[in-house]
Chain A
Amino acid sequence: MDAIFIFEQLLNGLGYGLMLFLLAAGLTLVFGIMDTMNLAHGSLYMAGAYIAAKVHEASGSFVGAVAVAIALTVLVAAVVEVLVIRRLYARDHLAQVLATFGLILIADDAVRAIWGPSPILAPTPAALAGPVQLLPELPYPAYRLVLLGAGLAVAVGLYVLVNHTRTGMLVRAGASNRVMAEYMGVRVGRVFSFVFALGAALAALAGALMGPIGAVQIGMGEAILIPALVVIVIGGIGSVRGAFVAALLVGLVDTAGRAFLPPALRAVLPPSLAADLGPALAGIAMYVLMAAVLAFKPAGLFPARA
């Protein structure tokens, strides 16, 4: 196990973590600020992936496809916010979970009706399909480097937006104490709509970017929603900074579990037992991380409401 191997796995973990961050940032804002549990967040991710794949195939422009995917997904999210989500703000979490779970079912069936039940294939942009010689010994997929860059750019953008703009101040005010913010004259309803649209845009971006390295299929949103929820729980609900740190942690722990755990177990256990145990343990590594964090910090690493 040499340094290059470890470095490559580090990059893989960072890449996965940044994608989780795009999804979790939107989720944590919606949950933290609006106190609304939106399970259908994964469906927005799926919508972004499908639209980007189809537009990319039809137009040949990947950047254009990502832009169209974000725009259309935000539009859909805005309609859903007006029709459904807005009515849920004042209801309890159970009603929110039930209603947004219903949205998942509707979204899955809508995708089935529009694009059919089989997975569709999102092509990697031709210029980025091959490897880049990162180090003499390490060719790395060019597309994954783009993902890393995009994830970092969004993280920086969100940091500036939340911490150094007036809008961000309102968002933070809403997250830390909604009632007080209302008394101080913040139009919380408008902030809510903005945050929801922002979350949708981030989810669509994540979906559009993940499409080319994964299969675009029905149910992809639910599959990634679970790690995203783990991320916001670890990071502290409502905190973008927490989501960032937690997403990187989860990405690294998950990748490390898959890369290092099986060989390590093989060194100490009989091969057949190691072959059974390794993948199983790697699969639960991120939940172990969550349990460990919650044991010491029950409100997550960076709780938004002190």
Chain B
Amino acid sequence: MPMLKRAALAAALCTAFAAQAADSVKVGIALDISGPFAALGAESRDGFDLAIEKLGGKLGGLPAEVVKTDFGGSPEQAVQLVQRYLQREKIDFFTGPIASNSALAVGPALFAAKVPFISSNPGPSPYAGKQCNPYFFGQYQNDTYDEAAGKLANEKGYKNMVIVAPNYPAGKDHLNGFKRLYKGALKDEIYTKVGQIDYAAEIAQIRAAKPDAVFFFLPGAMGINFVKQFVGGGLKDIPLVAPGFSADQDVIQAVGEPMLGLYNTAHWTHDLQIPANAEFVAAFRKKYDGRYPTVYAAMAYDTIMAIDAAVRDVGGRIEDRAAVAAALAKPSFQSVRGEFAYGRNHYPVQNYYLRVVDKDAEGKLTNKLVGTVLEKHQDAYVGECGM
């Protein structure tokens, strides 16, 4: 019975092949190089590039193949791109999109194919709660930055606030997060268009509301426009509070002096005294003309380090997806944010810090670490996760 023998041999070969280490690792990255999150996408790309360069083009000791494609921040295009990555490129890991709406759009296809999606930024609430998935890994949950900011607003004694965010999933998460810990009254809750350039109507509303302070989540170009117009409109006596995304280096650089003294919260800052972080910041500033990294670059860098560690932990047998996911869930790399652990929804339990925009030794505007707002903080949705 040669047929049977051949079949048995084939089966044996197959299992032998599966048990063997793969000969390369393919990472698919969807980049926001154009579109509403272009500046942030460029920061991510720089973080990815730096990490891959540092690892000598290898991940967990295997040669790495990195496919990077711009999808312009559009969830529809992200879905098409992921289809291509899964079917034609046969990627082993996925990361890259900046926005939560894109992350939510591409998740189902990746999870069905059991391709780990290590977020390099978005932390949408559905993936932390009811739709949590063994193949998704967050850097932070969207709401947590704002929970920290809410606590800060209480400590500053703000009694009346106006809060502003773009009208998309992350915007709602961020405002919900703020409201969760903020104890004062809300004068107004304003949702703006994604990618809006003119904030005159909103600024007039704020002027009319006369709040103690304004909390705004407006990442990238939106934040730049908002702060410029806010100050131009003569509201600079009203303090601004923000999650780190609205006051990161990209915004600071573009807006300049009006940012001075703005308090913001983040799970990482470039002057965090941790060896891995000091090494990252020094390497980043060396490679990119002395500019300070943003939190997006830091998270992208960490994402590659996490993949590197996971591939090493499974001994290069990346075909065993469940083992890869299990390895990712127990991070064994030195994160630039310091020590952290994943909750059961694969979102980190970590510290959140207070930063203030200040001048560094050379007189450059940048964020300075002030202190810790929330320690070993976990998101509010973990209870809904059935994992």
Contacts and interface: CB of A to CB of B under 8 A. Distances in A.
Contacts of A259: 201-202, 204-205
B191 A279 contact: yes
B20 interface: no
A137 to B, nearest CB: 9
B42 interface: yes
Interface in A53-76: none
A8 B207 contact: yes
Contacts of A15: 200
B189 interface: yes
A12 interface: yes
A194 interface: no
Given A2-B208, A118-B38, A275-B191, A16 B198 contact: yes
A262 B190 contact: yes
A279 B34 contact: no
B274 interface: no
B204 A131 contact: no
Given A119-B39, A124-B228, A124-B232, A275 B189 contact: yes
A258 B202 contact: yes
A36 interface: no
A5 B201 contact: no
A140 B232 CA distance: 8
Given A131-B234, A213-B198, A219-B35, A141 B229 contact: yes
Given A119-B39, A143-B232, A259-B204, A219 B197 contact: no
Interface string A203-243: 00000001001110111100100000000000000000000
B61 interface: no
Given A213-B225, A217-B221, A275-B191, A9 B204 contact: yes
B382 interface: no
Contacts of A119: 38-39, 221
A97 interface: no
B232 A117 contact: no
A129 interface: yes
Nearest to A271: B189
B75 interface: no
Given A119-B39, A279-B191, A255 B200 contact: yes
Nearest to B193: A283
Given A215-B225, A217-B221, A259-B205, 4 more contacts: A5-B207, A121-B254, A141-B200, A214-B197
